[in-house]
């Protein structure tokens, strides 16, 4: 089919288009209206329709093929960390999710209550997410790599009735304890959960707080065989909150609806990822990120596919592990991040031809820019289509990509392709708000209403939703992605990095302000600026420039090294090792404008050896000289 016509129709005949897509899911009560846009920019999709994500992901598949689908795999759990591998059929997954739903009900969770999930990549995490969806509770999954301070912020904002967690995770063979960090986070948070449900993997100590902490295994035996009916939610009722970083130090709770999300994901499985019931989907992401929500848990299951939940890295026990999994489970759709591919590029290329990858339709990559050499290398090695897709936590599914299920359009390395159906994408001049010409750089913006599946608001803060996303391009009420982009004469887009202070470390989205706040909490630090600096492997790494309160502390190399180590430990303890700065340099002043604004862009340019731009407004030019010296090799 002609994709351009498909895309045009999605905008020109929006309601008819999405009403058709809505037939991809089961509705308990069909929607009365496709879109309510009476209060822009808030969009309510599939008004008065009643449905349930868990029903569509699990129950719906039990009767398919006269019941034969019930015994096909739904969740394949593989851990190269602990050596476990378990497959749950749709029937088994249904039983586990029902049991977990009964457990949550016993702990007092009701419709609309929040359940915070802070878990490693284990099957129970999937059961908990789906169980929340079943009873209409709102889950808020927090990435296991985040530490106490980050977790405490999220507990306070989401105010969960129950937290589900575990004793520990495991990374590269090393135990990563969760329970201690969780206890500390609860101590720091003004909001306290009523109950904490804990999976004991027997990897680490799990001290229990009487009256609050409950063991998963002990509660599970009491609910063996439980049947919990699905709560039929109105389409706009929230399904989940997922926190993401922006310009401020306070992460935003991206709130997602139920019906719009289910339809958007089901449509994307058909038109973008080409996944069919009975096939296997393998995403190497983590449930703590949006890719994990959309394309480990909900998307594949909504399509009746088996989904692989993988706890491990791409290089252990060897660099063939991902392809070994593809061969063994006949994976048809695979999703990963460019960093994983850059990691593999450094390994023996023999692993790429060792396994039978004939089941694989394509490899989709997202989360950070896919550089041309990496794309070319993996395409040549795998001999499979490599498909870049660009989107955000806020949108939940691709904004730009090549929609293989509609038309196999020619792909360009380095470009995530074309605007997806439902997205009216424009590139706008940052100062005038005018559309830029072909080949000119502009802010990637979306003319509202945002299509189904995108965030409905910021949790508990409608104003912040409007102010943050719809007021940043002068004179235009459009959604800003906060990414720079450019379009060529063929309509292919290229993403050129963020317009704000968000950085992307190995595909992980981090806010430099959060890292700055953490570093500033060290008693020796007076002031700090953190910038993202280009890195061959990880895309970007955070680098800090700090001014100390007492210059004597960093007068010697020993003093500098000691303080740098302490600062890194502070970040590890508060935010998690993923946010740890690659380096912290000590300087006596930060480059600022005369009005006191830190020139982060200039700092970043100097770090990357680029021209720092117009510096006529700088207050103290010596600060720049110092910065250059700090960056010079010792
Ligand atoms: O800057 C863009 C970058 O990652 C940001 C969104 O990150 P997150 O909210 O974690 O969602 C990831 C969903 C895949 C974007 O604003 N980004 C994401 N995908 C790409 C990308 N940059 C370039 N190319 C991509 N394919």
Please state, in angstroms and as integers, the Cα–Cα distance from residue 73 to each residue in 86, 90, 224, 356, following that order: 10, 6, 21, 21
Distance from the alpha carbon of residue 400 to the mean position of ligand 1, in angstroms: 10
3-state helix, strand, coil in the chain (%, to 5): 35, 25, 40
Closest Cα to atom 2 of ligand 1:
368
Distance from the alpha carbon of residue 388 to the mean position of ligand 1, in angstroms: 11
Alpha-carbon 149 to chain mean position: 19
Distance from the alpha carbon of residue 25 to the mean position of ligand 1, in angstroms: 27
User: Hunting for tokens 């390994």 — which residue is that?
Assistant: 347
- Which secondary structure element, helix H or strand E, spans residue 174, and what is its range? strand 174-177
Distance from the alpha carbon of residue 366 to the mean position of ligand 1, in angstroms: 6
- Single out the residue of 423, 444, 540 nearest to residue 486, CA to CA: 444
Please state, in angstroms and as integers, the Cα–Cα distance from residue 7 to each residue in 388, 421, 426, 443, following that order: 18, 5, 14, 21
Which runs of consecutive H residues, i.e. helices, occur in 173-215?
179-188
Closest Cα to atom 15 of ligand 1:
392
Burial class (CB in 10 A: 0-12, 13-18, 19+), 224: exposed
- Non-local (6+) Cβ contacts of 143 within 8 A are 286, 288, 289, 576, 578
pLDDT of amino acid 634: 56
Residue 132: both structure tokens together: 């929340």
DSSP at 69: G
Distance from the alpha carbon of residue 149 to the mean position of ligand 1, in angstroms: 24
Say how far apart CA 603 and CA 573 lie, in whole Å. 26
Closest Cα to atom 8 of ligand 1:
392
Say how far apart CA 563 and CA 558 lie, in whole Å. 9
Say how far apart CA 321 and CA 309 lie, in whole Å. 14
Q: Which atom of ligand 1 is nearest to the CA of 244?
A: 9
Alpha-carbon 216 to chain mean position: 27
Distance from the alpha carbon of residue 213 to the mean position of ligand 1, in angstroms: 37
Distance from the alpha carbon of residue 18 to the mean position of ligand 1, in angstroms: 25
Do the Cβ atoms of 549 and 525 come closer than 8 Å?
yes
Closest Cα to atom 10 of ligand 1:
509
Q: Which atom of ligand 1 is nearest to the CA of 365?
A: 26
Query: Quick check: helix, strand or coil at residue 263?
Result: helix
Say how far apart CA 171 and CA 167 lie, in whole Å. 14
- Non-local (6+) Cβ contacts of 180 within 8 A are none
DSSP string, 418-481: EEPTT--EEEE-TTT-PBPPTT--EEEEEPSSPPTTS--EETT-HHHHHHHHHSSSTT---EEE
Q: What is the mean pLDDT of the chain?
A: 96
- Non-local (6+) Cβ contacts of 245 within 8 A are 251, 502, 509, 510, 511, 514
| Cβ atoms < 10 Å from Cβ of 518 | 27
Closest Cα to atom 23 of ligand 1:
369
176-199 pLDDT per residue, tens:
999 999 999 999 999 999 999 999
Do the Cβ atoms of 252 and 464 come closer than 8 Å?
yes
Distance from the alpha carbon of residue 392 to the mean position of ligand 1, in angstroms: 5
pLDDT of amino acid 355: 96
- Single out the residue of 170, 176, 446 nearest to residue 312, CA to CA: 170
Mutate to test the pocket of ligand 1, among 243, 251, 366, 415 (most ligand atoms within 8 A of CB): 366
Say how far apart CA 409 and CA 220 lie, in whole Å. 50
Distance from the alpha carbon of residue 93 to the mean position of ligand 1, in angstroms: 31
294-323 b/e (C-beta count within 10 Å ≥ 16 → b): bbbbbbbbbbbbbbbbbbbbbbeeebbbbb
- Non-local (6+) Cβ contacts of 175 within 8 A are 168, 169, 203, 204
Closest Cα to atom 3 of ligand 1:
368
Closest Cα to atom 21 of ligand 1:
368
Say how far apart CA 131 and CA 230 lie, in whole Å. 9
Do the Cβ atoms of 365 and 336 come closer than 8 Å?
yes
- Non-local (6+) Cβ contacts of 385 within 8 A are 361, 362, 363, 379, 404, 411
pLDDT of amino acid 611: 85
Within the chain, which residues score under 70 in pLDDT? 633-634
Distance from the alpha carbon of residue 538 to the mean position of ligand 1, in angstroms: 14
Rg (CA), the chain: 24
Closest Cα to atom 6 of ligand 1:
392
Q: Which residues line ligand 1 (CB under 6 A)?
A: 244, 289-291, 366-370, 388-393, 416, 481, 483, 495, 498, 504, 509
Q: Does pTM top 0.75 for this prediction?
A: yes
Distance from the alpha carbon of residue 245 to the mean position of ligand 1, in angstroms: 12
Closest Cα to atom 13 of ligand 1:
392
Closest Cα to atom 14 of ligand 1:
367
Closest Cα to atom 11 of ligand 1:
392
Q: Which atom of ligand 1 is nearest to the CA of 416?
A: 26
């Amino acid at each position: 089919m002609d994709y351009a016509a498909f895309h045009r129709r999605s905008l020109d005949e929006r309601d008819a288009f999405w009403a058709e897509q809505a037939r991809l899911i089961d509705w308990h009560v069909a929607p009365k209206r496709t879109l309510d846009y009476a209060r822009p920019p808030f969009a309510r999709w599939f008004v008065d329709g009643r449905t349930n994500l868990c029903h569509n992901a699990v129950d719906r598949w039990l009767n398919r093929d006269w019941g034969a689908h019930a015994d096909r795999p739904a969740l394949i759990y593989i851990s190269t960390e602990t050596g476990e591998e378990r497959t749950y059929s749709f029937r088994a997954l249904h039983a586990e999710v029902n049991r977990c739903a009964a457990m949550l009900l016993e702990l007092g969770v009701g419709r609309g209550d929040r359940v915070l999930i802070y878990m490693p990549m284990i099957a129970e995490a999937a059961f908990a997410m789906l169980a929340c969806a079943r009873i209409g509770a709102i889950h808020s999954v927090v990435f296991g790599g985040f530490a106490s301070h980050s977790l405490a912020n999220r507990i306070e904002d989401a105010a969960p009735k129950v937290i589900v967690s575990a004793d520990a995770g495991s990374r590269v063979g090393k135990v990563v304890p969760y329970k201690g960090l969780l206890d500390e986070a609860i101590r720091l948070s003004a909001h306290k959960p009523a109950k904490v449900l804990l999976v004991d993997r027997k990897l680490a100590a799990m001290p229990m707080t009487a009256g609050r902490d409950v063991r998963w295994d002990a509660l599970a035996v009491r609910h063996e065989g439980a049947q919990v009916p699905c709560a039929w939610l109105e389409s706009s009722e929230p399904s989940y909150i997922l926190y993401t970083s922006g310009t401020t130090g306070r992460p935003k709770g991206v709130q997602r609806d139920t019906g719009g999300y289910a339809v958007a994901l089901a449509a994307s499985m058909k038109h973008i990822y080409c996944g069919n019931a009975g096939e296997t989907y393998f995403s190497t992401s983590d449930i703590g990120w949006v890719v994990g929500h959309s394309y480990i848990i909900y998307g594949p299951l909504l399509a009746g596919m088996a989904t692989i939940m993988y706890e491990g890295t791409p290089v252990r026990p060897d660099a063939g592990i991902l392809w070994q999994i593809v061969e063994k489970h006949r994976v048809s759709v695979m999703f990963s991040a460019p960093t994983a591919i850059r990691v593999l590029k450094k390994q023996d290329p023999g692993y790429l031809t060792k396994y039978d990858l004939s089941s694989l339709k394509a490899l989709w990559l997202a989360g950070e820019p896919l550089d041309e050499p990496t794309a070319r290398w993996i395409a040549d090695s795998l001999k499979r289509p490599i498909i870049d897709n660009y989107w955000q936590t806020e949108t939940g599914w691709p904004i730009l990509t090549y929609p293989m299920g509609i038309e196999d359009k020619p792909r360009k390395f380095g470009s995530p392709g074309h605007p997806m159906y439902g997205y009216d994408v424009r590139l706008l001049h940052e100062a005038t708000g005018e559309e830029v010409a072909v080949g000119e750089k502009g802010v990637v913006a979306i003319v509202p209403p945002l299509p189904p599946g995108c965030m409905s608001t910021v949790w508990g803060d409608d104003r912040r939703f409007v102010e943050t996303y719809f007021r940043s391009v002068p004179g235009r009420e459009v959604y800003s992605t906060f990414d720079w982009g450019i379009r060529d004469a063929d309509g292919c887009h290229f993403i050129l990095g963020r317009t704000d202070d968000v950085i992307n470390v190995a595909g992980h989205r981090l806010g430099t302000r959060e890292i700055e706040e953490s570093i500033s909490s060290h008693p020796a630090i007076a002031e700090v600026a953190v910038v993202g600096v280009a890195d061959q492997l990880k895309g970007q790494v955070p680098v800090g420039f700090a001014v100390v309160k007492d210059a004597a502390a960093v007068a010697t190399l020993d003093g500098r090294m000691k303080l740098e180590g302490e600062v890194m430990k502070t970040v590890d303890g508060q935010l998690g090792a993923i946010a740890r700065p690659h380096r912290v340099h000590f300087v006596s002043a930060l480059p600022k404008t005369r009005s006191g604004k830190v020139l982060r862009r200039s700092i970043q340019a100097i770090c990357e050896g680029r021209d720092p731009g117009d510096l006529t407004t700088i207050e103290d030019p010596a600060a720049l000289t110092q910065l250059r010296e700090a960056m010079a090799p010792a």
